[in-house]
Structure 1
Amino acid sequence: MKVVVGGRTGTGKGVRRGGDVRKSYATPCVGGQTTTPRRLLLGAVAARRSSRSTVGVVGSGQRGCRCRSVASEGLGNIPRATQLELEVAGAKGDAAKVVVETGEIGRQAAGAVTVTSGETVVYCTACAEGEPDAFEEGGSTDGQQGGMVPLTVVYSERFSAAGRTAGGYLKRDGRPKDPDVLVSRLVDRPIRPMFQKNWQRDTQVTSWLLSYDGETKPEPLAITAAGVALAISDIPLSAPVAGVRVGMVDGEMVVNPTTSQMAEATLDLLVAGTEEGVLMIEGSADLVASEVVLEAVDVGHKAIRGMCKSISEWAEKVGKPKREVSKVKVDHDSIIATILSEREDELRAALSVPKKQERAEKLTQLKESLRQAYCEGENPLVASLKHYNAVFKQLMSDVVRQMVVQDGVRIDGRGLDDVRPITSRAHVLPRTHGSALFTRGETQAMAVVTLGDEKSAQKMDNVQSTSDNDMKRFYLQYFFPPSSVGETGRVGAPGRRELGHGELAERALSAVIPSLEDFPYTMRVESTITESNGSSSMASVCGGTLALRDAGVPLTTNVAGVAMGLILNQEDGSYVILSDILGNEDALGDMDFKVAGDAENISAVQMDIKVEGITVEIMREALSKAQQARAHILGEMEKCSPPPRNEVSDHAPTIHTIDVDPQFLGMIIGSGGKNVKQLISDFGLTTINCNVDGKPEGTIEIMGTGRAKVLACASHIESMCRVPKEGDVYSQAPVVEILPFGCLVELGPSRQALCHISELANQRIDKVEDVVKEGELLDVKVIEVADGGNKVRVSARHLLPDFVPGKPREGMEGRAGGGGRRGNDRGGGGGRGDGRRRGGNNRDRDRR
């Protein structure tokens, strides 16, 4: 750890306006009390000196001179900048050092820091209300379970951080974008369980990305900045928190890898924790083994331990004294013991009802009964309704823990490793491109897939976008209506939870999405939760897999997801892992560990806990049981009835890609897109894209409903770009013009060829119209190409059944003549009669 305390002794300059100096300032010196200058005259070099201050004055005509002064008393104390250099184990280059600074910016916040790595800077503040909540004064049973910590975390990325301006009409940065909300959740989850018991004051942690170098990712910096800001503030946090990103690049674990390195990574994992344990992990992978994920967690936590140790030592030197949390005035342990001794059987019976709504109704009735018994009367056991609510929640938690640990039985009667019953069916909606309904117990997801071209891709317009055309061709949108839990509520823009769950399910499925070359569609998955009792995001993964299969998307493998839970005894460290947890088990337990992947490997993970850290050993067991649960779920998904179609729907657009010589693009597009628009109209297509992102020039993407129309258009475009070669055969070429000496046939748009009268039939003919008329279709063969393909001669008789190469046409045997065809000469009528008509005299005639 390296601590640097620095100050600044700056100078101010006089600003000349019309020859006069309007103002002259001097920045204060480090450590001194501020003073006030008696007078600064404008224009003249004059000052009234006093024993309290020394002022250097710039007069008229003294361009560029500097003032020398201590600051006035009214300007406040000088900012003192204190730095901490954190060494990040396992990181390389600029990422190996993270610089934390406080004391200069945001001095009125309870805690304010800037965190810098490379040229990426995150500014974070932490503030809390001054007066304690009445609930805090009375105490709760547990900081995280007795009452929710009133914590708000907001993270925002400024476009100016990357030297950009927001798009659209309004150039001001607006509300946090979806990626900002996702980072806010990443910051919230590891710091929330670290607040001390009974803390119930409104607390806000705000972060801004102020500078972004395009290589150093800001998410781990935002987590660390929040942990440091709280550590040096007066807000009581149990221990400092830090975060890192771990990527597996070329088989090696790299801490805080750059954006360039992550482009080749097979694992992307964010890890947050304290010196003692891991608090949060979230990431995605290209289907890697559980041991690889655990190795990444171990590497990340090793770096975090060193960072947290340095932060803790630094906070003792520069941090503020912590506020005292009000002491518990109510003996909750004795209250809970009393109620359990008298009513435990009723609690067990209510919590053992298998169905969610019936169980909720029983618990509501029991809660009211207990309230009347213990909160009313002359000497109530619990005087405050708010305290009673906390006590009742703790009662439920204690009973559930006893049932699991002592009896090995869960709320709905399942064993610890049992997965709820699963049913699924595909093609549930007739006009969608793909759909599936996945049901696991009382959690149900309706997944719908929509296929499109690149115009349907999701544009990524945020600070970290690599370009203005940064697009996602696969994305999942998660909807959680209040009706899914039998409630009423707001319906509209997605909330933070919906964005987070959708992002997790999207990452889980991204690992098995085919490449653009194998499947030239964009894919949008909508997952609507129609019923929820825990693990709805993992149901979205399962339903999404089936719906994608139903849409004909060739996934590399099927994936499924499951949520694992934890009951932890913090006194002796014993624990129990639960598979496929219910909503109540999530709320009353200590961990929500979501794992998605195929039967063997992992594509996405997300872990949240309510205790102050867990060990890698606990995660290892949870991942092992999650693998068993996924294998079971995938087996049940194979029983889907009706099964997915595994082919593109007739209602989905057909996308066909062809490659043409780039020199023909102008001809295909036409002036102002005239030709391409005509093709779309003629063939009834949706789009023709002649500039496909990520494809070489000359790639054309044709999209429309109806495979026959798309293929017909593709054939037409190919014919437009086809360069005739001698021996090529053109079927059904239209006759566009009749000439005295032959006819013109169309080989393709803007390309015609001459079929001479002598090449129309195997016998001599007098008139072209005797054989063919304008508008008729001819099968012709190219017999001559000249002038780089601009002059083409074709023959119809070469394709006739009785054509014999070298044999004269019928009626022409024994005729001699001169002026045969030489090169491109169309003459050659000589040799007839007395020979007075020599070759070349009639260029429009040939030997008959």
Structure 2
Amino acid sequence: MLKKVISKTIQLPDNRVITIETGKLATQANGSVLIRMGNTMLLAAVVAKEAPEEGGFSFLPLSVDYQEKFAASGKIPGGFLKREGRLGDHEVLIARLVDRAIRPLFPKRFNSEIQINISLISADETILPDALAALAASSALSVSSIPFNGPISEVRVARVNGTFLINPSPSLLEQADINLIVAASDSSILMVEGAMSEVGEADMIAAIRYAHDAIKLQCQVQKELMEAVGVEKTIGTTHHASAIVCYPIALREAIYADLYAVAKQHIPSKALRKEAFMAVSNRYREQLAKDQNGQEVTTTQQKEWLDELENQAIRALILNENVRLDGRLLDQIRPIESEIDYLPSAHGSALFTRGETQSLTTVTLGSKFDEQIIDRAMEDGYNRFMLHYNFPGFSTGEVKPNRGPSRREIGHGNLAMRALKAVLPPDKENLYTIRVVSDILESNGSSSMATVCAGSLALMDAGILVKAAVSGIAMGMITDPTTGRFAVLSDILGDEDRIGDMDFKVTGTYQGITACQMDMKVAGISYAMLEKALHQAKEGRLHILEKMAETIAAPRLDSKPHAPKIVTIEVEKEMIGAIIGPGGKVIQEIQKETFTNIDIAEQGYKGIVTIFAGNQEMLEKAVSRIKTITARPVMGEIYKGKVKSVLNYGAFVEFMPGKDGFLHVSEVRLERIENLEDVLEVGEELQVKLIGIEPKTGKYRLSRKVLLAPDVVAAGG
């Protein structure tokens, strides 16, 4: 049977073209598309089970995977297996960009299991695939039989030399001071994530608006594709029993009033607040066992119904009274405590606590040999700045086995890494490989932002000369679609994140924003809401920076005594061989004696020697050895040498490390010598003077006789 292939094109502002094609590849999936831009090609396939598992899910069982095939860029994977394996962190991060954008757009209570697979099958080094992944996923969903309140799309927007660009090349992206991935429908913003170089709130909003204009066109083309395909949404939705359970109105009103009263008590402790809400549930347990028709209601159905009622009460409290669960005003930040140098053996450390959220963060300084090796389908190289975020179960009082970093941990760590990387000194000024690790010890909202604050403090404690301190804050929002009312919340609690409509994390310095991550749990946000959230976030960010400055206002001027030391020395290119020695003998000997790591690289007409030592004493010892080897002999200078070999007509004397000179028999003593072997022996040490350098050969001529002349002896020579 011949396949019906349908394609549509999208024209970007700079006249580059994106093609969407369906009907040719992966046709047994519920929906599949091929996205092409230049030589970059992404295949997206989406499948869903026709009916959910028995009993259904209490959540949307959606999984999104993105994978880059090494063959796409003509490469064979590294390692022993030589095949694609576990998804890399960068692939997980791209999958998260897609997941977070599309998850809010499925019908409420739709709980068929859905899987979206996106594969990079052809790579173009001038076109980054991450900005096309959500377009591929949305297009596949749009042409499928799966209910989806799309279409949506994502684009990268960057500002280069004051000009906004959509999906720019990597070379242009390196020059950008704004680098954002924006997801949106044709009517509202859904997700924003990216990094910036301390830019203002107005600049960020302008970038989002520019991105949204491009997204609107991509959404329109997807609608045209749907119409051409003739999509019929046949996979049905399944409603939980809790969606149709009905209780007497009087019972509902009584429970709602009690839940509202608990919310209004402003209990600061998460645990005590949970107990108070549970007490309301327990008080009505018997009455909730049966609905208004006398039918039995399961415990799961009761819990879901009560949770929904609790959410409504908390949201109403915030909108009606402009006050929050813990009694704070909408823009009020929780109490902050911080300290540095908390761990005496770490190279840098900080403990940052905001309310019931706490991060213990360490900084470890390493050498070039500690760099992370990057081996990806589209990228090779090294990474000298790493940030890892750990979220153990005990931080929220839960039992959770440690099974490696979750997607959430990878995403939060990447956000904090971007936030802090913006203020690091250039590589030529910072020779260390830096690893920052945030261990969340307690969590009740915005642990990733606590990581940013603790990471900034720990870097300054380690003596890294950061440009400025960085703080982070998580913003939330409660909206009422019926009335149009909304409330923006600063420094949200975990409960406010759970029941809210937005999670907007913003990091920055006193000068401007360095990174952001926004997720919407409803279908979008208006620009008025976005502007208010950003300006309120700035006030909170500056308040937190002031609190951090009370702990440490500027980086230490030097690393701690027990921290490793690192230095670079420029040498003449021709001296590199002397430092390395035959078969690496000299450099290995220096490293062994001084317990250092030494790296040598050519740079133009000079050599760069980088020495990494465990302490200052060993560093100075290694530096002295290198400088001795690379020192240039000076005419007329007196040296202490060692006899290397003796011949009838003279001896070869090593007067500097790696430098031999010839001591003619006539230059050994004032009187004539018949047999030099009777006067000198191999290994003997003696003082010699450099008296000549052959212009053509560069050989050195030495004399001992001139040091024995009467005038020299009289002068103490």
Tell me if TM exceeds 0.5: yes
**Is the Cα–Cα contact under 8 Å of residues 335 and 355 in structure 2 kept in the other structure?**
yes
> 1:460 corresponds to which letter in structure 2?
I
Displacement of 1:492 in angstroms is 2.7
In the aligned structure 2, how far is the partner of 1:811 from the partner of 1:401?
Answer: 99
Aligned match for 2:378, one of 439, 464, 477: 464
**Which residue of structure 1 aligns with residue 253 of structure 2?**
341
Which structure 2 segments of 5+ residues have no match? none
Aligned match for 2:576, one of 665, 672, 679: 665
Q: Aligned pair in 2 of structure 1 residues 135, 716: CA closer, same or farther (>3 Å)?
A: same
**Which residue of structure 2 aligns with residue 105 of structure 1?**
25
Q: Aligned pair in 2 of structure 1 residues 690, 600: CA closer, same or farther (>3 Å)?
A: closer
Aligned match for 1:167, one of 67, 78, 85: 78
Aligned match for 2:601, one of 691, 711, 728: 691
**Which residue of structure 2 aligns with residue 722 of structure 1?**
631
**Which residue of structure 2 aligns with residue 125 of structure 1?**
45
In the aligned structure 2, how far is the partner of 1:775 from the partner of 1:635?
Answer: 67
> 1:171 corresponds to which letter in structure 2?
K
In the aligned structure 2, how far is the partner of 1:382 from the partner of 1:161?
Answer: 57
Displacement of 1:325 in angstroms is 3.4
**Which residue of structure 1 aligns with residue 3 of structure 2?**
79
In the aligned structure 1, how far is the partner of 2:633 from the partner of 2:320?
Answer: 84
**Which residue of structure 2 aligns with residue 784 of structure 1?**
692
In the aligned structure 2, how far is the partner of 1:580 from the partner of 1:124?
Answer: 37
**Is the Cα–Cα contact under 8 Å of residues 242 and 305 in structure 2 kept in the other structure?**
no
SS in 2 for 1:477: strand
Q: Aligned pair in 2 of structure 1 residues 245, 370: CA closer, same or farther (>3 Å)?
A: farther
- 1:292 aligned onto 2:203: yes
**Which residue of structure 1 aligns with residue 506 of structure 2?**
595
Deviations along 1:431-465, one digit per CA (max 9) or x if unpaired, are 11111111111100011111111121112221121
SS in 2 for 1:463: coil
In the aligned structure 2, how far is the partner of 1:781 from the partner of 1:738?
Answer: 18
In the aligned structure 2, how far is the partner of 1:615 from the partner of 1:378?
Answer: 40
**Is the Cα–Cα contact under 8 Å of residues 541 and 560 in structure 1 kept in the other structure?**
yes
Deviations along 1:396-437, one digit per CA (max 9) or x if unpaired, are 221111211111111111111111111111111111111111
In the aligned structure 2, how far is the partner of 1:382 from the partner of 1:317?
Answer: 48
Q: Aligned pair in 2 of structure 1 residues 202, 695: CA closer, same or farther (>3 Å)?
A: farther
> 1:342 corresponds to which letter in structure 2?
A
Instruction: Give identity over the alignment, percent.
Output: 35
SS in 2 for 1:656: strand
**Which residue of structure 1 aligns with residue 156 of structure 2?**
245
Displacement of 1:724 in angstroms is 1.8
SS in 1 for 2:83: coil
In the aligned structure 1, how far is the partner of 2:218 from the partner of 2:352?
Answer: 44
Quick check: which one's strand share is greater?
2
- 1:708 aligned onto 2:617: yes
In the aligned structure 2, how far is the partner of 1:316 from the partner of 1:603?
Answer: 41
RMSD: 3.3
**Which residue of structure 1 aligns with residue 289 of structure 2?**
375
Superposed counterparts of 1:213-228, under 5 Å:
213-228=124-139
Aligned match for 1:210, one of 121, 127, 147: 121
Deviations along 1:616-653, one digit per CA (max 9) or x if unpaired, are 22111111111111111111111227997452122222
In the aligned structure 1, how far is the partner of 2:241 from the partner of 2:598?
Answer: 73
**Is the Cα–Cα contact under 8 Å of residues 256 and 310 in structure 2 kept in the other structure?**
no
Deviations along 1:44-92, one digit per CA (max 9) or x if unpaired, are xxxxxxxxxxxxxxxxxxxxxxxxxxxxxxxxx211111011223x3x2
**Which residue of structure 2 aligns with residue 38 of structure 1?**
none
Q: Aligned pair in 2 of structure 1 residues 777, 626: CA closer, same or farther (>3 Å)?
A: farther
Deviations along 1:169-221, one digit per CA (max 9) or x if unpaired, are 21221122111111111010110111112211111111111111111111121
Displacement of 1:744 in angstroms is 7.3
Displacement of 1:339 in angstroms is 4.5
Displacement of 1:320 in angstroms is 2.3
Q: Aligned pair in 2 of structure 1 residues 811, 384: CA closer, same or farther (>3 Å)?
A: closer
Superposed counterparts of 1:755-766, under 5 Å:
none
SS in 1 for 2:375: coil
Name which one, 1 or 2, has greater alpha-carbon Rg: 1
> 1:709 corresponds to which letter in structure 2?
M
> 2:255 corresponds to which letter in structure 1?
R
**Is the Cα–Cα contact under 8 Å of residues 285 and 602 in structure 1 kept in the other structure?**
yes
**Is the Cα–Cα contact under 8 Å of residues 427 and 436 in structure 1 kept in the other structure?**
yes
**Is the Cα–Cα contact under 8 Å of residues 348 and 362 in structure 2 kept in the other structure?**
yes
Superposed counterparts of 1:239-278, under 5 Å:
239-278=150-189
Q: Normalized against structure 2, the TM-score is what?
A: 0.91
Aligned match for 1:114, one of 22, 34, 50: 34
> 1:751 corresponds to which letter in structure 2?
K
**Is the Cα–Cα contact under 8 Å of residues 514 and 556 in structure 1 kept in the other structure?**
yes
Deviations along 1:505-544, one digit per CA (max 9) or x if unpaired, are 0010110111121111110001100110110011111111
After the TM superposition, which of the residue ranges 738-747 and 644-653 deviates more from structure 2?
Answer: 738-747
Q: Aligned pair in 2 of structure 1 residues 295, 397: CA closer, same or farther (>3 Å)?
A: same
SS in 2 for 1:698: strand
SS in 2 for 1:475: strand
Q: Normalized against structure 1, the TM-score is what?
A: 0.77
> 2:10 corresponds to which letter in structure 1?
L
**Is the Cα–Cα contact under 8 Å of residues 359 and 441 in structure 2 kept in the other structure?**
yes
**Is the Cα–Cα contact under 8 Å of residues 231 and 319 in structure 1 kept in the other structure?**
no
After the TM superposition, which of the residue ranges 173-182 and 482-491 deviates more from structure 2?
Answer: 173-182
SS in 2 for 1:690: strand
**Which residue of structure 2 aligns with residue 455 of structure 1?**
369
Q: Aligned pair in 2 of structure 1 residues 102, 357: CA closer, same or farther (>3 Å)?
A: same
Which structure 1 segments of 5+ residues have no match? 1-76, 137-145, 813-847
SS in 2 for 1:655: strand
**Is the Cα–Cα contact under 8 Å of residues 782 and 795 in structure 1 kept in the other structure?**
no
> 2:414 corresponds to which letter in structure 1?
E
